[in-house]
Structure 1
Amino acid sequence: MGATTGTWHKAMDIDDLWEGDMAAAEVEHTKLLLVNVGGEIRAYQNRCPHQAWALDEGDFDGETLVCTRHMWEFDAKTGQGVNPSSCRLTSYPCRVGEDGAIMVDVG
């Protein structure tokens, strides 16, 4: 996960990202993929490390993200590659504020 710089930006509201869903967002010119895994929010760069295909165009079954371009799979909770296991998604620190805003620190 990227280091926290302390500069948080609103990506979207938690009410717009239900459990088991994913959504694209953009913060400070950084394209993000927000994922709600069992009620926990994760923020990743919205591109597959293979050929930079947008991950929000892929599939998410609540646990695994699948890039539709070449079927690469990632653990949605950790960003670790499942198939192949030698890769990882770029992640960003995120949190949900008391007002329900999903805040991301893109560095």
Structure 2
Amino acid sequence: MAELSLQVDELWVGEMRGVTLGGQRLLVVRTEHGVCVYRDRCPHQGYPLSEGRLEGGVITCLLHGHTFDAATGAGINPRSSCLAAIPSRTEDGRVHVTADDHRGLP
């Protein structure tokens, strides 16, 4: 089983990074509230969010400008669209995600 184990302080607060786990692209985001993991694709047309921007706690997809709350994945514009969150845990300063945690997600 594949597992991602990333040191929390490898990411600055307000930084995001695309990673691959078990053949799937994930987006790791560090906010002032902690670390969140999402599928690295905009729900609108699947564009990689890791190629977008993270400013002021808002993730912006560069393809069509859709925006999401970085801490919750909730859609800002449009509100009806939200990010697919991946279960993760933070332990001893490391973020852990296993490949099984994101199977079956669109």
> Aligning the two structures, in what range does the TM-score lie when normalised by the shorter sequence?
0.7 to 0.9
Instruction: Give ranges in structure 2 of 5+ residues lacking alignment.
Output: none
Partners of 2:55 and 2:42 in 1: CA distance: 17
Query: What TM-score results when the alignment is normalised by the length of structure 2?
Result: 0.85
Count the aligned residue pairs.
100
1:4 is aligned to: none
Instruction: Give ranges in structure 1 of 5+ residues lacking alignment.
Output: 1-6
RMSD of aligned alpha carbons: 1.7
3-state SS in 1 of match to 2:76? strand
Identity percentage of aligned residues: 35
Question: Larger relative CO (CA 8 A, sep 6+): 1 or 2?
Answer: 1
Partners of 2:5 and 2:26 in 1: CA distance: 9
Letter paired with 1:18:
W
Partners of 1:62 and 1:96 in 2: CA distance: 23
Within the candidate set 35, 40, 46, 1:41 is matched to 35
1:3 is aligned to: none
- Residues 101 and 8 of structure 1: CA distance in aligned 2, closer, same or farther (over 3 Å): farther
Query: What TM-score results when the alignment is normalised by the length of structure 1?
Result: 0.84
